[in-house]
Amino acid sequence: MESRKDTQIMDKDRESKNERAAGPKLSRRKFLAICAGAVVLAGGGWAFSRTQLADRLASHALGAAQGKPVLSYLRQVIATDNAHARTIMWQSDVKWQDAVVEYRLKGAKDIAASPAERETFSDDGVTVELYTARLADLEAGEAYEYRIKADGQCDDWHALQTDDGGAFSALIFPDSQSNDYTDWKHLAQGAAARNEGADFFINMGDLVDNGEDHRQWDAWFDAVAGIIDRIPVAPLMGNHETYNEDWKVREPVAYLHEFALPANGSEEFAGRYYSFDYGPAHFIVLDTQTDEAADFHQGLLETQQAWFREDVRKTDKKWKIVLMHKDPLQYRIANRPERQEGFSDEGRAWMPLFDEAGIDIVFSAHLHTYRNRGHIKNFERDASGPLYILTGVAGNVRYPGLWVDHALDKTVAPQPETDNYLTICVKDAGVEIACFLPDGTEIDRETLQK
């Protein structure tokens, strides 16, 4: 199918520009250099510094000395109803018998607690204890604080704000896959610092370059430390989440464990697609890895399309927003005259449903370039159709000069392309979307009203 061909083309382009690190690939079992300095992997192509490791070990040592539970990668995960619920997750090297999330209204004396489920999660030859607690009795529009309590030891308090049903803002990060996650960290931390009032953040798939490599997941979580513990993440699965360390397609094991996502009514496809509400908006997160999933499952597209129709039918939110990793448009490629401009397999499968459902905005990713296409309906420009935005790139894997501009492109990021992020501000009366370079320079803005 065309989507897998796109991925192969992009991977070859990376290799031709030496964007993957050179040298033989190191397996997890042979990984000894972490104790001596930086590690560079050729296939996954990422770097993990001695400083990052030392900082983490020092933090763990300090916590243990202070009688606090030693945990890693504390995170909030988006819930279906974010006015009254939130999911809290973290990892540890310790098997706790009694782990809970304590929470309270900010500054209050009364403390509630929700038990955490423990799951032993093994991948890439590494086993960790993964803990998940679901808070389900929160009050709308309130400032909360929460902490981890395990076997009598308590962590520090962390902020948690519930949805009040009104206006909100969020950060949108395109593909963060990298061969060195320092660019991703710089972008994410800078965007969060400039948008302290953001209520949650979205990562548009291909969070990591190789879904089986646990060190890349470590680097991804390290990059969003101090953000993901205080506002929830709404992640998408990308095709790179489905790769093993030999770059063969597999089940997205790590992704499906790392994020306890809202239920979609399917046991077979749990965690692959979902929806959630925030303020006056309903977000629909699609799994566009039907090509990759075909090696293990049948019927993902048909099952998901049926779910989509029912999910949209049930919402009463004013704004309906779709998040999909693979892009619905197909681009010509430099020096590939046989490849025609048009629409991808994903576009042909989903765009008629978006028209039918009255979707307002469609955000996509995968191609590592920012393109605002304006409104499209019936596969042509039409002001009554959804707004389509290809979100760009948030990591350091880029494809300069690969794509030939599409006739439907309205705004293209400055070339040669660098990282970017987006903000979305949603009110009942309108939606404002803006795109920024890493230093905060605005490169595009779009407003919708109805």
CB-CB contact of 263 with 311 (8 Å):
no
pLDDT for the residue numbered 338: 86
pLDDT for the residue numbered 5: 60
Alpha-carbon Rg for the chain, nearest whole angstrom, is 21
pLDDT in tens, the chain (450 residues): 445 666 666 665 554 443 333 333 333 323 222 322 333 333 344 455 445 555 554 455 445 455 678 899 999 999 999 999 999 999 998 899 899 999 999 999 999 999 999 999 999 999 989 999 999 999 999 999 999 999 999 999 999 999 999 999 999 999 999 999 999 999 999 999 999 999 999 999 999 999 999 999 999 999 999 999 999 999 999 999 999 999 999 999 999 999 999 999 999 999 999 999 999 999 999 999 999 999 899 999 999 999 999 999 999 999 999 999 999 999 999 888 888 999 999 999 999 999 999 999 999 999 999 999 999 999 999 999 999 999 999 999 999 989 999 999 999 999 999 999 999 999 999 999 999 999 999 999 999 999
Query: Measured on CA atoms in the order 51, 57, 60, 65, is the torsion positive or negative?
Result: negative
Parts of the chain belonging to CATH 2.60.40.380: 69-161
Q: 62 Cβ partners below 8 Å, 6+ apart?
A: none
CB-CB contact of 81 with 251 (8 Å):
no
Length of the chain: 450
Question: Strand locations in 26-125, DSSP E?
Answer: 39-40, 47-48, 72-77, 86-92, 99-105, 112-115, 117-123
pTM of the model: 0.89
Parts of the chain belonging to CATH 3.60.21.10: 2-13+166-449
Tell which residue, 226, 248, 229, has the closest CA to residue 239.
248
The rounded distance, in Å, linking the Cα atoms of 32 and 53 is 13
| CATH code, residues 69-161 | 2.60.40.380
pLDDT for the residue numbered 52: 54
Of the chain, the end-to-end C-alpha distance in Å amounts to 38
| CATH code, residues 2-13+166-449 | 3.60.21.10
CB-CB contact of 290 with 301 (8 Å):
yes
pLDDT for the residue numbered 6: 67
pLDDT for the residue numbered 30: 30
pLDDT for the residue numbered 28: 30
Tell which residue, 253, 300, 309, 248, has the closest CA to residue 124.
253
Q: Is 63 exposed, middle or buried (0-12, 13-18, 19+ CB in 10 A)?
A: middle
Three-state DSSP at 328 gives coil
C-alpha distance from residue 42 to each of 111, 164, 345 (Å): 49, 46, 31
Beta pairing partners, 330: 342
